Structure 1
Amino acid sequence: MERSLETSVSQAVDAWLRWLPRWHPAAHRGRTRICRRCIGSPILRAAGLVDDVPHQVQHGLATRMKALVDHAVAEYTERNLPVLRAELRAADLREAQRSYRPGEGLDPEFDGLQLDPDPDPEQPYLFTLAELGESQARTVPPPPPLSDDAKEALRTEIALADQCANETGRRICELLVGHRLAIHDAVERYVEPQVTALLDDLALELDSPSSPW
């Protein structure tokens, strides 16, 4: 397990490093919602990606590490937590009945981000991707109620799954420390020059006589 996790973290970091040269600063209107996956993330602290790093750069690595945690918890659940396993399988079957799942199959750099831009009163949407997904969710029947004993067993198994997630996350943080230098060098090479150029362009616009500011 330990060797497998160490290998998986190395492979995930390598995949992020291969993606990083393709990153470019977003030119569209920004979004104001906080990403709960990245804000205060111990994984990002362990990787050294906390200060002055664009969010999508952070998000791509955080999401890859979350996938490793999810995989470890899924394997643990499959082996040891029968009640939770049955609930998750039933949830997967209900989810499969939805014909439209907008958040499924996204690249790690976009997985977990809000699906639609923030609303603009001057440019209203006819519909949003999130609304379409929610309308499909409402057509799926709710699960049957659980007995009191099943609820108690489920609570116990959820606590065990959370413990597995926390232990896996802590070990991933320890392993990421060994990749800090490669991560720092890649950010310095591919990200910082683009951010600097963006700030220089902004400064030129602000100094321009035609600037409204």
Structure 2
Amino acid sequence: MERSLETQVSQAVDAWLRWLPRWEPATHRGRIAPCRRCFGSPVLSAAGLGSDVPHGVQHGLSTRIKTIVDHAVAVYTSHNLPMLQAELDQQAERNRARSYRPAENLEPEFEGLPLDPDPVPGAPFLFTIAGMAQEADADVPDLPPLSPEAKAALRQEVGLADDYANMIGREICAILLRHRLRIQAGVTRYVEPQIAAMLDELTRSLDAPFGPGVDGADPA
């Protein structure tokens, strides 16, 4: 029996709250480009996770919600959009033929993120995970071309799928409004203390840039 959308959202928030105590602030260099999944997301706005919340915290929830939308659209497509479904089936079969699929079966907190860190100027990578995945993809034959009529019909079905995804997204945003209090409670309990500790550490390092015994340091 298919779970209701409200149940799915509630369970996604539950799963995110169970993960939240394991979140830790990133210590590596931040990325230059914003996350396309999270930046300006109406889902995160409905959940009350604004720009003052670390991206890792946001991403863990937005990815879980995206899974719900993707599943709903997949069911709608399989029942109503035969041409798009056939195209997706062919693409899925092509993907299964790839020998290297590093972006699959990731935890929600990492799904959709770039496979490689941002490059450092003057220090090029010997190889990248994304590059190896592209090499594996090049070994798989392309899908057969579509006729102009088939392309037009496919574009129409893609538009219908997009409209349905937007409708589901709006419903989910309305449901998330009812979970904002417990989402904020989780952030207050597990995220804000870690951010405060980082700020305290930064303040201490700025107030005392030199350690004991280093020139310029005031004697204790």
Q: TM-score range by the shorter chain?
A: over 0.9
Residue 138 of structure 2: aligned partner = 138
Residue 208 of structure 2: aligned partner = 208
| Shift of residue 122, structure 1, vs aligned partner | 5.1
Residue 5 of structure 1: aligned partner = 5
Q: For residues 183 and 47 of structure 1, what CA distance do their matches in structure 2 show?
A: 7
User: Larger deviation: 123-132 or 202-211?
Assistant: 202-211
Structure 2, unpaired ranges of 5+: 212-220
**1:66-124 deviation digits (Å, cap 9, x = unpaired):** 11000000000000100000000000111111111111111111101111111123543
| Shift of residue 171, structure 1, vs aligned partner | 0.3
| Shift of residue 209, structure 1, vs aligned partner | 3.4
Residue 92 of structure 2: aligned partner = 92
Residue 73 of structure 1: aligned partner = 73
| Shift of residue 210, structure 1, vs aligned partner | 2.4
| Shift of residue 154, structure 1, vs aligned partner | 0.4
Residue 126 of structure 1: aligned partner = 126
CA RMSD of aligned residues (A): 1.6
Q: Secondary structure at the match of 1:72?
A: helix
User: Larger deviation: 122-131 or 109-118?
Assistant: 122-131
Residue 59 of structure 1: aligned partner = 59
Question: Taking structure 2 as the reference length, what is the TM-score of the superposition?
Answer: 0.92
Question: Taking structure 1 as the reference length, what is the TM-score of the superposition?
Answer: 0.95
**1:39-91 deviation digits (Å, cap 9, x = unpaired):** 00000000000131000000000000011000000000000100000000000
Q: For residues 202 and 77 of structure 1, what CA distance do their matches in structure 2 show?
A: 51
Report how many aligned residue pairs link the two structures: 211
Structure 1, unpaired ranges of 5+: none
- Provide closer, same or farther for how the CA distance between residues 134 and 94 of structure 1 changes in structure 2, counting only shifts above 3 A: same
Residue 24 of structure 2: aligned partner = 24
For 2:76, give the aligned amino acid: Y
Q: For residues 148 and 132 of structure 1, what CA distance do their matches in structure 2 show?
A: 33
Q: For residues 182 and 65 of structure 1, what CA distance do their matches in structure 2 show?
A: 16
Percent identity, aligned pairs only?
62
* 1:82 lines up with 2:82 in the alignment: yes
| Shift of residue 2, structure 1, vs aligned partner | 9.7
Residue 46 of structure 2: aligned partner = 46
* 1:101 lines up with 2:101 in the alignment: yes
Q: Secondary structure at the match of 2:4?
A: helix
User: Larger deviation: 185-194 or 123-132?
Assistant: 123-132
For 1:100, give the aligned amino acid: Y
Q: Secondary structure at the match of 1:179?
A: helix
Q: Secondary structure at the match of 1:118?
A: coil
| Shift of residue 149, structure 1, vs aligned partner | 1.9
For 2:102, give the aligned amino acid: P
For 1:127, give the aligned amino acid: F
Higher gyration radius (CA): 2
Residue 214 of structure 2: aligned partner = none
Q: Secondary structure at the match of 1:178?
A: helix
For 1:113, give the aligned amino acid: L
Q: Secondary structure at the match of 2:85?
A: helix
For 2:85, give the aligned amino acid: R
